[in-house]
Amino acid sequence: MASNEPSGLLAGWYNQRIGTPTTDDEVNGYWLFVAGILLGLLGIVVVLLTEAATGSRGLGYALAALSPPFLMLGAIIRFPLRKAATSIGYAGALVCSIAVIWFVAVFPGGWFTASGNTGIIGLYSLGILLLGLAGALVPLLTAPVDTSHEDATRAAQAAHDEETRAAQAAHDEELAAADEELAAATDRAADLEAEVTALQAELAATRQSQGRFELFTDKSGKHRWRLRHRNGNVIADSGQGYTALHNAQKGLASVRRNALGAGVLRIDPEIEDESPDDADEPVVAVPAAVEEIESKATFETFSDKRGDVRWRLRHDNGNIIGDSGEGYDSKSNAKRAIEKLKTYVGPADYLWFDPTGFEVYRDKADEWRWRLVHRNGNILADSGEGYSRRHDASRAVTRLQENAADLEFEVYEDNAGEYRFRVESANGNILADSGEGYDSKSGAEDAVEKVKEYAPDADTLDIGLAAFEIYEDKGGEFRWRLRHRNGNILADSGEGYASRIKARDGIESVKRNAPGAAVEADD
């Protein structure tokens, strides 16, 4: 009977011009209806153009007679009627077609003008009657179509659609809630990022100091420390002497660790004598932050032979007290390097190797480590492992200094055939190791003896953003360099000094003059 998927040229045209058909009968019925209209029009035209009582005139009558059966059959097929109605409709159209063929065969000789031909008229009328019965009476006389299945299907589809809409609405609500949570989380993340940025700025501000601790030996041979502002005024001192240098270092470290954030306790003693109404303002000892320290040096930018842009810091006396140590691609990059130097050089500290010193620094993995450096640049020992906090690395240095003579050093041969040493703490962690290999076991043992000898009295440098290094070059001259904590060299002395003390004086000159120095470009 009907196909569920209409196809073909006629079905395609129907789909484009009228609508999507559901069955082939819908398409076929439409085109039979159109054919009936065309046959009727064609028959009228032929009748008008031909002479009476001729075969041509009879053909026109026949075409016009086929129009009603085709129109009725097209309607019957297109409507979703019962199979019996469709079959009767086809039979009626067939009977009408036979009557028309009979008419063409006898016209005009066998067709009477007054009465026509009773047989032909009766047969044609029977066909029309059958078509009428198929289209009108059969649907009325037969049992009604059982639509319960279709109704159940439609109800199930409606319920499914309702569930789908409800699920989609719930999904949309969840998505909207998730979007709101995401927006809120984004806002919280932005707020936290702003807080982190502010805390980083605050932490960076705490690292910027205009003073420096000094360790010295007084006239009685005791070790003391004092905090001197860069204008030369002493802000604080140890108040008492220490018999051992490392004890003075520990006292200094305690002040550095506890001063920031310490509260203020006001102690009012009994007043015995009259005192002035008010003491001098503290700016007498420490100038205001906005007060400029006059510089006696100037930064000069110039191009070297290779075309790289460099800078140098020239004192007013004509001496070059520092240079970039490397070239830059453009003047803007060189000027940015100068601005960084101005920021880092003031608070940067340096080790006084006598003859060794400890450096506490943060590595590329963002872990804190320490190393014991000899004044010739060799690393005698290091932490062996990283620490999550600066305080833990500093405590490891203190433990090594206090217990160096009693610690048990293990000398061993590594996979490369070199000899190394290491020290394990009570919990099994590596407290210190050699940091580098030695060609012989005796060389490693000599290094152990040097660590035991030098570590207790070695100064400790806690590297902040940058630190100065004083070292002896191959020519026997002393030089300095300013190294960022990421390992990059920001500046160096540019020339050698005859003694370590003169190199230190060079650093002090740079620290004193670089922050406020003007920048000039050579022509």
Q: Given pLDDT bands bounded at 50, 70 and 90, which one contains residue 98?
A: very high
Q: Judge whether residue 267 has pLDDT over 70.
A: no
Distance CA 361, CA 487 (A): 10
For residue range 310-349, list pLDDT tens digits in order: 888 888 888 888 888 788 888 888 888 888 888 888 777 7
DSSP state of 305: T
Instruction: Point out the least confidently predicted range of 152-161, 344-353, 377-386.
Output: 344-353
Write out the two tokens for 285. 């000892």
Q: Judge whether residue 145 has pLDDT over 60.
A: no
> Which position has the token pair 């002393």?
478
Q: Which residues pair with 360 in a beta bridge?
A: 370, 462
CB contact at 8 A, 27 and 21 = yes
Distance CA 42, CA 56 (A): 12
CB contact at 8 A, 134 and 85 = yes
Q: What's residue 140's pLDDT?
A: 58
The angle at the Cα of 361, spanning 360 to 363, to the nearest 5 degrees, equals 145
For residue range 239-265, list pLDDT tens digits in order: 788 887 767 777 777 776 666 655 444
Distance CA 328, CA 308 (A): 5
Exposed / middle / buried, residue 247 (Cβ in 10 Å: 0-12, 13-18, 19+): middle
Distance CA 410, CA 431 (A): 12
Better-predicted residue by pLDDT, 52 or 207: 52
Q: Which residues pair with 474 in a beta bridge?
A: none
Distance CA 187, CA 138 (A): 74
Q: Given pLDDT bands bounded at 50, 70 and 90, which one contains residue 32?
A: confident
Range 1-12 average pLDDT:
59
Range 191-217 average pLDDT:
71
Range 497-512 average pLDDT:
86
Distance CA 275, CA 489 (A): 53
Instruction: Point out the least confidently predicted range of 70-79, 143-152, 300-309, 354-363.
Output: 143-152
Distance CA 234, CA 211 (A): 9
Report helix angle 245-258 to 390-403, nearest 10. 160
For residue range 274-295, list pLDDT tens digits in order: 544 443 444 434 444 444 557 8
Range 156-180 average pLDDT:
88
Closest to 99 (Cα-Cα) out of 78, 139, 69, 77? 69
Better-predicted residue by pLDDT, 332 or 267: 332
Range 219-233 average pLDDT:
73
The angle at the Cα of 331, spanning 327 to 334, to the nearest 5 degrees, equals 50
**CA atoms in the 13 A half-sphere facing the CB of 193:** 6
Q: What's residue 139's pLDDT?
A: 63
Q: Which percentage of the chain shows pLDDT scores above 70? A: 80
User: Helices in 240-320 by DSSP H: which ranges?
Assistant: 245-258
Q: What's residue 468's pLDDT?
A: 84
For residue range 43-78, list pLDDT tens digits in order: 899 888 888 878 888 888 888 888 888 888 888 877
Give the per-residue SS3 of 406-433: CCCCEEEECCCCCEEEEEECCCCCEEEE
Q: Judge whether residue 88 has pLDDT over 60.
A: yes
What CATH superfamily classification does 210-254 receive? YegP-like (3.30.160.160)
Q: Judge whether residue 94 has pLDDT over 80.
A: yes
Q: Judge whether residue 358 has pLDDT over 80.
A: yes
Q: Judge whether residue 392 has pLDDT over 60.
A: yes
Q: What's residue 86's pLDDT?
A: 82
What are the sequence ranges of the domains in the chain? 9-142, 152-207, 210-254, 297-521
Better-predicted residue by pLDDT, 114 or 42: 42
- DSSP H or E run through 341: helix 331-345
pTM of the model: 0.40
- DSSP H or E run through 24: helix 24-49
Range 379-407 average pLDDT:
86
Instruction: Point out the least confidently predicted range of 210-219, 263-272, 363-372, 512-521.
Output: 263-272
CB contact at 8 A, 86 and 109 = no
Chain-wide mean pLDDT for the chain? 79
Range 462-478 average pLDDT:
79
For residue range 107-132, list pLDDT tens digits in order: 887 787 777 788 888 898 898 888 88
Q: What's residue 287's pLDDT?
A: 45
CATH assignment, 297-521: 2.30.29.80
What's CA 107's distance to the chain center, in Å? 93
